[in-house]
Amino acid sequence: MKRKLLSAVAALFIAATSVQSATVNHYELIKGPFKTGEDVTKACLQCHEKQAEEILQTPHWKWKGVPRTVKGLENSKEEYGKANLLNNFCTDVEGGSRPFCTKCHIGYGWTDSSAPLNDKSKIDCLVCHAKEGNYKKALGGYPDPVLLEKGKMDLVRAAKSVSLPDRSNCGVCHFFGGGGDAVKHGDLDSTLIKPTKDHDVHMGGPVDMTCQACHVSKEHRIAGASTFLATNDGRVSCEDCHREPHRDSAERKTLDRHTKTVACQTCHIPLFAKGQATKMSWDWSQVGKDIEPEEKFGKETYAKHKGSFVWDMNVVPEYAWYDGKTERYLKGQVIKDPSQTVLISKPVGSIKDPNAKIFPFKVHRGKQPMDSKYKYLSIFQNYGGLWTHYNWQKALVDGAKASGLPYSGNFEFVSTAFYGSINHEVAPKDKALKCSDCHFGRDKRLDWKALGYAGDPMRVGGRFETNVAQPAKTPDSRVSAQK
């Protein structure tokens, strides 16, 4: 079976590289010269107008879509996403900060609070497809003018080098979500461009899988969903490839029973932020103070225009039931009890839900402004506003004007939390969790009572059992009780 598995992985790798090599070589097709990104797009449209029409309909372009992952909003006529939802990182894009945020947009010139232009000539083909030319984006999503002026970016070379995306293309935005490398995602950062096998068994080592090996795409709609998102163009699961993952294991029956309750990621991603530290909290209330910044893990713990941060590395996830849906804080939603932590995104599920499993999460905590009268999270202008003048009143007034969400004139800071699902940095199977990592009371990896159990299910019985399981004789015994 091991030989068959290796053959299957090899076949997948060969197929992926074959598709890559089968793409058209553009070196002879592209002539130039190009002064702007739009000039490159104009050349692309001569052959790829259909693909451009596809792009304009995607969440990657609109930054929103049908909120399929938000409980209760699955059939909503209004679309939701980065364009109109809040978070507890840079908080929002509607408060006048869009020129900065759209450095990661797949288009050019989306600088105001309106919807992205329905204009094919504004599509940035290079950010996803260029392999050479030192292509970099700047404010408003335009090619970096400084690099162009100094001759350090070559648009012709970039256009000639286009091919299927690799991890560095996807990572330009997804590794740097939340305003910097490893800020937003606990399991995605720039070290995954060239990871080791121990860092990620899929992307590292000889397999060297691209993102789209799992996040398959059709008509430029890319599958994948997380608790960071409100929409998706298809789900991705470990079982898409691993149909019988424990077939050759001596503990197959035990492990297969676990998979009814425990997600693959829970056992196979024991730690996240293995390549570099990730941001675990962001306190906006500290903005404008004269604090001498310190570093931890080589990262800043304070910036006058952003506030204070906590970073951590090799982090044990937090665990919660998840059925594939989230509860999501919406713009203008009234906060019933400001003294409690406001959950901006939280997985839906419980021990009583047979469709829910225990999944790992990075929980990013923060402090951000709430309107004291209206009792909703406030929208403020950071880029071109707070980041420059440190004046909260002005930033909140300007943010209200840009977003259309009224500001009463009074605000206070509230605690927030954002659950981010962990799906990457999968460890080799010999480094997956063992029985004793979660059971027998050796550590506190899983808070059984918080998950709804009376205690360790190895002692009190699993959620699908009618009889209480008997304690194992020794902490290292292989156990067969169902969770």
The pLDDT tens digits of the residues spanning 15-61 come to: 444 344 447 899 999 999 999 999 999 999 999 999 999 999 999 99
List C-alpha distances in Å: 124 to 129, 134, 137, 190, 275: 9, 15, 10, 21, 30
Report helix, strand or coil for 323.
coil
With beta carbons less than 8 A apart as the criterion, state whether 150 and 120 touch: no
Instruction: Give me the pLDDT at residue 442, please.
Output: 63
Distance CA 368, CA 414 (A): 6
CB burial string 126-155: b at 16+ within 10 A, e below: bbbbbbebebbbebbbbbbeebbeeeebbb
Residues of the chain with pLDDT under 50: 1-22, 466-483
Going by their DSSP bridges, the two strands 357-371 and 278-283 should be labelled as parallel
Please name which of 262, 319, 359 lies closest in space to residue 446, comparing C-alpha atoms: 319
Nearby residues of 301 by Cβ (< 8 Å), 6 or more positions away: 293, 294, 295, 308, 309, 310, 311
Distance CA 353, CA 335 (A): 27
Distance CA 96, CA 305 (A): 16
pLDDT tens for each residue of 421-480: 999 999 999 999 998 899 886 667 999 999 999 999 988 888 987 433 344 443 333 333
With beta carbons less than 8 A apart as the criterion, state whether 126 and 403 touch: no
Please name which of 101, 71, 84 lies closest in space to residue 332, comparing C-alpha atoms: 84
With beta carbons less than 8 A apart as the criterion, state whether 237 and 224 touch: no
Please name which of 90, 68, 70, 59 lies closest in space to residue 346, comparing C-alpha atoms: 70
With beta carbons less than 8 A apart as the criterion, state whether 376 and 410 touch: no
Q: What is the Rg, in whole angstroms, of the alpha carbon atoms belonging to the chain?
A: 24
Instruction: Give me the pLDDT at residue 249, please.
Output: 86
Going by their DSSP bridges, the two strands 357-371 and 318-322 should be labelled as antiparallel
With beta carbons less than 8 A apart as the criterion, state whether 122 and 38 touch: yes
List C-alpha distances in Å: 229 to 79, 419, 483: 12, 11, 29
Instruction: Give me the pLDDT at residue 152, please.
Output: 97
Distance CA 411, CA 391 (A): 13
With beta carbons less than 8 A apart as the criterion, state whether 116 and 110 touch: yes
Task: Write down how long the chain is.
Answer: 483
Distance CA 281, CA 439 (A): 29
Distance CA 70, CA 180 (A): 26
